[in-house]
Amino acid sequence: MPLYEHVYLARQDLGAQQVEDLTKQFQGVIEQMGGKVAKVEYWGVKTLSFRINKNRKAHFTLLNLDAPPAAVAEIERQQRINEDVLRYMTVRVEELEEGPSAMMRKVDRDRERDERGGGRFGDREDRGGRFGDRPRRDRDDDRRPRGDSE
């Protein structure tokens, strides 16, 4: 059977449980039609590049499928009908990716960077205040009064 990667976007106002129920519904359709779902990844709520049906964010979910083309056509038909699904995309692949997808690796990499304290500008060291670690001078030291001239 052919292999597919299928990603769908669900409305932002759905709860995580409702998105999980949608995913189970699509898995059931695939399995009823003789296919199998190799992997399911929930990528979370992400900001969209542009508004889709007045939504600025969406729940992203990836399904790795080993299914006949008729099963993929059926879940795409059901997603077109479902008002909770904003967009979907199915891509036929030669082999399914083992381990976490690129999106999940990015999330892990970002989480590690935040734990290290890298922040927005990478892994810079703490450089101290505005002038570095120079010793502080008292104003009276090494200064002559203004009125004296020698």
CA atoms within 13 A on the CB side of 84: 16
10 near 19, Cβ under 8 Å?
Answer: yes
From edge to edge, which strands make up the β-sheet containing 3-11? 36-52, 55-66, 3-11, 85-93
Q: Are strands 55-66 and 85-93 parallel, antiparallel or unpaired?
A: unpaired
Helices assigned H by DSSP within the chain: 16-32, 69-81, 102-116
Query: What is the model's pTM?
Result: 0.69
Domains with residue ranges and CATH for the chain = 3-94 (3.30.70.60)
pLDDT by position in tens, the chain (length 150): 889 999 999 999 999 899 999 999 999 999 999 999 999 999 889 999 999 999 999 999 999 999 999 999 999 999 999 999 999 999 999 888 787 777 777 777 777 777 777 655 555 555 555 655 666 666 655 566 666 555
- Per the document, the length of the chain is 150
